[in-house]
Structure 1
């Protein structure tokens, strides 16, 4: 008798995919906000902080709403308590992307750092976050090492394109 294929927990896989997806959205949003704020004539720390937190909160809330709508469309009913808790956990994870950059901007707000330096550091934090998320996604794949590297380079190129588009869109 052949070995049975390992059981796949579809719910866990969907939750993990949604978690990664929302982190990517929140990170790109935070990065775009930081880049656009940095291009302002005289960026101010309080404005940068609130723009970052409210911008990421907005994209996170949009992701939460899209999950509810998707659930309604597919299952034809509101999600149960366990599913809503899962959605809130994903949203909380996405909001976590502003903790370090937000703290760095607060340091500028209380005059520990220059705002331009703080925004530059925040941009690198967001870029590093995107790199780690991309690497985790590629590493989990079953692709051979060479294809994993190619996938990571492709993700990097697409990420740079997204950053460019968001920066242009927010600065027009």
Structure 2
């Protein structure tokens, strides 16, 4: 019976990205884009929720288009960066990696998007769907931060300090994004 190595089991995303050169770098890119998209989704849902007069279809399209926009910007940024550093257009495999990274970022809209569709078709009140979507994004960021800090080689009290610093920085990011979307 074969299975994952007893030392450490990789996640599905990391397994898919392992095909590409620089697996560590590829996984960092994938992870980073998901965090960007999560922050963007959270900011959009917070703005829609705070407006108090949004319709479910508007909330859904604002979320999907906003995350799609940040994902497309990340993809274009990666292509431009590759051109600048390597002085050539990304190869077919490299483009495949960039598309996988973008696809991972789009995945952050799945559960909140489903919640908003349920509000759109009348299964859930919009307020409930928005609050649940906010919860999904906050929990996602909290778990990502906790796992990142927990994997570090820092002592427990330094891990706690880093986690608190990340929470403060995350709150600043969310505040700035909400402010930017609200004006």
Match of 2:74 in 1: 63
1:160 CA drift (Å): 0.8
Equivalent residue in structure 2 for 1:146, among 145, 157, 164: 157
Does the CA contact (< 8 Å) of 1:19 and 1:93 recur in 2?
Answer: yes
Does the CA contact (< 8 Å) of 1:20 and 1:133 recur in 2?
Answer: no
**Aligned counterparts of 1:10 and 1:106: Cα–Cα separation in 2:** 38
Residue 51 of structure 2 is aligned to residue 31 of structure 1: no
**Aligned counterparts of 1:87 and 1:81: Cα–Cα separation in 2:** 10
1:118 CA drift (Å): 0.7
Match of 1:161 in 2: 172
1:10 CA drift (Å): 7.5
1:125 CA drift (Å): 0.4
Q: After the TM superposition, which residues 1-172 of structure 1 pair with which residues of structure 2 at under 5 Å, given as runs?
A: 11-172=22-183
- Structure 1 stretches of at least 4 aligned residues deviating more than 6 Å after TM superposition: none
TM-score (structure 2 length as normaliser): 0.85
**Aligned counterparts of 2:50 and 2:104: Cα–Cα separation in 1:** 28
Taking a change above 3 Å as real, the CA distance of residues 10 and 135 of structure 1, as seen in their structure-2 partners, is: farther
1:145 CA drift (Å): 2.1
**Aligned counterparts of 1:148 and 1:41: Cα–Cα separation in 2:** 38
| Residues 45-68 of structure 1 deviation map (CA, whole Å, 9 limit, x = unaligned) | 000001100100000010011111
Match of 1:3 in 2: none
| Residues 15-39 of structure 1 deviation map (CA, whole Å, 9 limit, x = unaligned) | 1111111011100100010011112
1:140 CA drift (Å): 2.5
TM-score (structure 1 length as normaliser): 0.91
| Residues 121-166 of structure 1 deviation map (CA, whole Å, 9 limit, x = unaligned) | 1001001111122122222322222212211111111101111111
